[in-house]
Amino acid sequence: MSLLLKNAAVFAPAPLGVKDVFVVGDRIVAVDDALSVSLPGLETLDARGLTLTPGLIDQHIHVTGGGGEGGPASRTPELVLSELVECGTTTVVGVSGTDSVTRPIEGLLAKVRALAAEGVSTWMYTSNYAVPPTLLTGSIRKDLFCVPEVLGVKIAMGDHRCSFPTIDELMRIVSDIRVGGMIAGKIGFLHIHLGNLPGAFDQLAEVVRRGIPVRHLRPTHCARDKALFAEAIAFAKSGGVIDVTSGGSCFDTPAKAIRAALEDGVEPERITMSTDGHGSIPRFDAQGVMVGLGIGGVSSNLREFRSLLDLGLKPEQALPFLTSNVAKHLGLPGKGVIAAGADADLCLFDSRFDLRYVIAKGRMLMRGGTVEVKGTFEE
């Protein structure tokens, strides 16, 4: 397959001006002015008046569904491919949540591989909320080495549903992640679901003080409440990376949380955003009884990107939180950028930043605003 995009306003995410972009297979071959290409089967698309960006990356999404806090009927459904296409998400990192009984980690691996076969790029975190972690091979190091999709381990901290790990337990987990990453040629991360209870960032600071590099610690849901957000700001200023959930925050919009972090002096490259899509959104009363349940959408990254633009950020300032920052900090070369040799994951927007075309692995998944490629069992 080969594709030539002509006359697009390119944000790579840095602004490159109006360029042509040539794609062969799943790679970008050239980005330049007025490219002239002749190949059998070449498709040419005139993108004049459209804005070309990297495909969006969602590094925290419940592809197998989440929930279960209210019994079997409260288990949220699995993700389907068209949901990703509709919001321009071309790369995902799948996660598990509270339910480690009916949502086995093997099922997460199977779903991640299914989505990859259907057309997007996929990775995952092994385990869920639990300590000791729920693993595929029985070993953190082996999960990282033997399973290409595994980037690290997920646990929960500061949440009434977590296992309340001790410092020594955290040290052993992160040490295994670090060594497993070395052996596998990956960075290796402890991906941390943060709840509202205090103390999580104190424990993370102690892990770093004892000698674990901060780059192995990746907290998410960092804008869940104001007190937690203040601790997250300090963590980012000390060299950490913080992830803001675009599905909701303690601010009017998650975009405003990002703006607040920037105004407080956090370096932009230390901020990422993810949806928590298809996770459940339980509501508990003062006694800890669940009184309501919702489901997280997968389009909130795109929504909050537009919100950042409404707040006055330029596209090249807003895009990295969803593209290049994520790829860089996850160690995914070729993702999140538009450049020769990069993966051909691309979005084309109109002047209102409505999505018009989505290309993943060089394949057109959306054309003219209509989803062309759906999942295996979608009608």
**What residues are annotated to the active site?**
276
Pick the closest to residue 311 from 349, 255, 352 (CA basis).
255
Contact at 8 Å (CB) between 93 and 100? no
The answer, yes or no, to whether the previous bond of 132 is cis (omega within 30 of 0) is yes
DSSP string, 209-278: HTT--GGGEEEE-TTSSHHHHHHHHHHHHTT--EEEETT--SSSSHHHHHHHHHHTT--GGGEEEE--BT
In this structure, what token pair is assigned to residue 91?
């790369």
d(CA 208, CA 82): 41
In this structure, what token pair is assigned to residue 80?
């389907």
> CB-based contacts of 211: which residues, under 8 Å, 6+ apart?
none
CB 308: neighbour CB atoms within 10 A?
24
d(CA 212, CA 175): 7
The answer, yes or no, to whether the previous bond of 282 is cis (omega within 30 of 0) is no
